[in-house]
Structure 1
Amino acid sequence: MKVHERLGELLLVGFMGEEMNASLAAHIRDLQPAGLIFFSRNISAPEQLAQLTHDIQTLARQELGRPLLLAVDQEGGSVARLGPPFTQIPDAVSLGRSGCESVHHYSRLTAREMFQVGLNLNLAPVLDVNTSGAAGVMKRRSFGDDPSLVTQCGIAAISATQDENIMATAKHFPGLGRAHNDPHHDLPVVSAGGEELERTDLPPFRAAIQADVACVMTSHTLYPALDPENPGTFSPTILRNLLRAQLGFNGVLITDDLEMGAVVERYSQADAPIAALQAGADLLLVCNDLEKMHLTAEVVLDGLNRGMLDPQDLALSLTRVAKLRKTYLDPPHLADVATVATHFST
């Protein structure tokens, strides 16, 4: 297939509902995305989730000829989509205080439960170093304020997750730990100099890359010392030069949700997807608005047709996504609903 026929594979999108139906089938068939992201609105019980992922992957194999990435934010604490009876994980700062063995233990349990119900991509761990203390937006989601501790905990989480055949995601590159504003609402600005970022914020990501983390997620944050004009998600300097060329990351690069306030206050719906792909992103994350998901697909196709996007760059992104599928989803895993029901009832 040619690049323009595979552009859906640059999308990681949300959906509505807890079961396979005509609407969800059409959503998958029309967008042909790389994958779906699950939220609490899609999950009511382990056996329900297992049935849903089973049905999604069965449809994907029939209609698309490939499995889908099935993602969830399961960091622990307040950012956890899998509620009881799934194992409930302490937040990152508590895990950091407990030590890396605790991080490894909970990450392994989470990955095993995700695998059981058919999920395959965890948008975790958070590798942001919380240098802002109690005022930091990441104060509970970060392992702590010590770069060495965050690095060690991050590696423990990544290894435990990926050893269970679940893809891990290091986020939010190049670091959101200095931010006081929440990018869900508006654009944070990190004023630290380049040397300070290199010393404090980048070490966990550097180590994650050396540990062969599957994915990295970008940050909707402005870093004037690195790029005075473009937030991380939209900065070729940060994504292509720093992450790819200098740090050597060859995995899949996922944007944070393009519907966040930090994005929509600066970019139109037509501009954001193009700018992110131009900067070097592989997957565009659109979580909630179904209309925006379809608009994003249309914008990407239009950008390619108008010469705004380099087909060779998009081909490289598609290759990276395909390699990820080959590594983790070949052969594809289908959840066994009966086994899941038995496991979580005991």
Structure 2
Amino acid sequence: MRARSGLTRGLVVAAAVGVVSVGAPAVPRAEATTAAGLAQAAYTRMSNAQRIGQLFMVGTPATGLSSAAATAIGKYHVGNVILTGRSTVGAAPIRALTTRLDRLATGSATAGVPLWISTDQEGGYVQVLQGSGFSRMPTALTMGTWSTTTLTSSARTWGRQLRRAGVDVNLAPVLDTVPAATASTNPPIGHWQREFGHTPSVVTTKGGAFLSGERSADLAMTAKHFPGLGYVTANTDTTAGVKDTVTTTSSGSIAPFRSAVSNGVPIVMMSSAVYTKIDGSRPAVFSPTVITGLLRHGLGFSGVVMSDDLGNAKAVAAWSAGDRAVRFIDAGGDEVLTVNASTIPAMVTAVTARAATDSSFRGKVATAVMRVLTAKAAEGLLGARLKLDGSLGAHTISALQRWLGVSVTGTLNPTTIRALQTRVGTTPDDVWGPASMRALQLYLGIATDGARTWNSRTVTQLQGYLNTQL
């Protein structure tokens, strides 16, 4: 698993603000291996286009890489991906897909900064990845009836399944509170039983247990949909002008988000509804009053602020694609999510153009880029990576041993072989032969080739996969 740096929220803020105020300073030697130092080093080596690309997350079907998403990464330098739709074929094809995606983060595309690969794995009706290797998860409302211990343990298992499939970020949990009396008439959350309970205290406790469990599996998590969709009567995905006329800055329904922030959630996703008692003039996703005022200053959140979908959602259809991206970043947001890859050219072009002519906006872009890079570094994405050379040398074996959780010796000893055989689902007999090779190839999601022992094709795929894990 990717080891986190233990970076504090305060250090994230200091790193981001410091970089923006002075441009791109050299990284002090003592900080070169901290999350802040790694982020600064990545920022420094990036072109302006590559920096802006870090502010976008593009959709691709979980069933395979789309050409539009590949173009977004290669041509527009987009640095993050969300797996969309539904996949029921199990974990192995997802491993192959995430390994392929990881390889797209080249020097020319992203300056070698790995993609954040995300998906929606809430449970119940919202579980993108299914099949062998993924437990079928109940709804959040059902999870909310479990003991905290059981839920935390189960979430750890679900999180480990995602991480071993090469996913870095789960766009969960939903921390919206839906009152019991109106749950059936709340289309985005209550109708699908996406809430953990009907009171802020239950949502805080059980949503927090889910968050804690999956975080312990080295997943980055996303608290959503701030400041809550529990009081709306329409779905922002399918309806324009959705309004919450109940929530205020001091509402109890803010409490689950406040708790998640206090417990170090790295990402908060914004709602696209309008909150008339907070800022009635624009959707929360475009509101500096909500993002900068309430979330940043009120809750003290210094991590990555992500939009809800700005590609296809009807709630934002009145604005052009480019204007959506600019408005979100101008309001204090960091990561533009669009499931519709065809919107990326217009969005990137608009942000680039605005940054070129508006110094204030340019500063916000720089701040947002550093937040994303620092968060990636804190999650372990900016560490050393294996070279894809097909050679089962000491570096590759050491990485394999770290992934398996056995002693790191750099040699393929019986302990490592048994652990790998167990991990890929074949008999642990200390003998690495045709059966083990077949099991490994199936685990990696590549075609079996009848190999009797290690070959460069399989080792190269293993190296690529390990880069998604360590």
Is residue 131 of structure 2 the alignment partner of residue 73 of structure 1? no
Which of 30, 39, 43 in structure 1 is aligned with 2:75? 30
1:176 corresponds to 2:229: yes
Does residue 87 of the first structure (1) align with residue 135 of the second (2)?
A: yes
Take 2:161 and 2:152, find their aligned partners in 1: how far apart are those partners? 14
Match of 2:185 in 1: 135
Q: Contact 1:16 / 1:24 at 8 angstroms: preserved in 2?
A: no
1:250 to 285, 289, 302: 302
In 2: Cα distance, 1:2 partner to 1:117 partner: 31
**Who wins on radius of gyration, i.e. which is larger?**
2
Contact 1:182 1:188 in 2 (8 A): yes
How far residue 109 of structure 1 moved from its aligned partner, in angstroms, is: 1.5
* CA 25–338 in structure 1, closer or farther in 2 if over 3 Å, else same: farther
Quote the residue 2:245 is aligned against. Answer: 191
Q: Does the aligned pair in 2 maintain the 1:3–1:314 contact within 8 Å?
A: no
Query: Which letter does structure 2 place at the counterpart of 1:14?
Result: G
* 1:237 to partner: Cα distance: 0.2
CA displacement at 1:232 relative to structure 2? 0.7
Contact 1:220 / 1:232 at 8 angstroms: preserved in 2? yes
Displacement, 1:271? 1.7
TM-score (norm 1): 0.91
Q: Distance in 2 between matches of 1:207 and 1:17?
A: 31
Contact 1:126/1:142 (<8 A) preserved: yes
Equivalent residue in structure 2 for 1:300, among 351, 355, 365: 351
Q: Distance in 2 between matches of 1:106 and 1:99?
A: 11
Q: Residues of 2 paired with 1:113 and 1:204: CA distance?
A: 25
Change (3 A) 1:330 1:159: farther
Name the CA shift for 1:316/1:149 in 2 (closer, same or farther; >3 Å).
same
- How far, CA to CA, are the matches of 2:68 and 2:142 in structure 1? 41
Shift in Å, 1:272: 1.2
Secondary structure of the corresponding residue to residue 115 of structure 1: helix
Match of 2:411 in 1: none
> Structure 1 residue 156 and structure 2 residue 209: aligned?
yes
SS in structure 1 at match of 2:60: coil
Letter of the structure 1 residue corresponding to residue 321 of structure 2: Q
Sequence identity, in percent? 29
Secondary structure in 2 matching 1:105: helix
Q: Using the alignment, how far apart are the partners of 1:41 and 1:249 within structure 2?
A: 32
Confirm or deny: 8 A CA contact 1:50 1:340 kept in the other structure: no
Aligned residue runs from structure 1 range 1-346, under 5 A: 1=46, 3-16=48-61, 18-19=63-64, 25-40=70-85, 44-63=89-108, 64=110, 65-85=112-132, 86-131=134-179, 132-137=182-187, 138-139=189-190, 140-186=193-239, 187-192=241-246, 194=248, 198-258=250-310, 259-264=312-317, 266-288=318-340, 290-307=341-358, 310-328=361-379, 329-331=381-383, 342=425
Unaligned runs of 5+ in 2: 1-45, 387-399, 404-419, 427-438, 444-470
Would the alpha carbon gap of residues 274 and 120 (structure 1) be closer, same or farther in structure 2, given more than 3 Å must change? same
Q: What residue ranges of structure 1 are gaps of 5+ in the alignment?
A: none
The secondary structure found in structure 1 opposite 2:178 is coil
State the one-letter code of the partner of 1:70.
I
CA distance in 1, matches of 2:287, 2:315: 14
Query: What is the DSSP-based 3-state SS (H/G/I as helix, E as strand, rest coil) of the residue aligned with 2:225?
Result: strand
Give the counterpart letter for 1:67 in structure 2: P
CA deviation vs aligned residue, 1:44-70 (integer Å, no higher than 9, x gap): 331111011112213314543111100
| Kept in 1: contact 2:59–2:69 (CA 8 A) | no
Relative distance call for 1:43 and 1:274 in structure 2 (3 A) is: farther
Deviation at 1:307, TM superposition (A): 1.9
Distance 2:385 2:222 in 1: 20
**What is the DSSP-based 3-state SS (H/G/I as helix, E as strand, rest coil) of the residue aligned with 2:224?**
strand
Distance 2:50 2:163 in 1: 30
Q: Take 1:210 and 1:250, find their aligned partners in 2: how far apart are those partners?
A: 11
Q: Distance in 1 between matches of 2:345 and 2:152?
A: 38
- What's the offset of the Cα at 1:2? 5.3
**40-49 or 171-180, which deviates more:** 40-49
Query: How much does 1:293 deviate?
Result: 1.7
For residues 245-279 of structure 1, give each alpha carbon's deviation from its aligned partner in whole angstroms, at most 9, with x where no partner exists: 11100110100000201110x32223211111111
Deviation at 1:133, TM superposition (A): 2.5
1:319 offset after TM fit, Å?
A: 0.7
CA contact (8 A) 2:323 2:347 kept: no
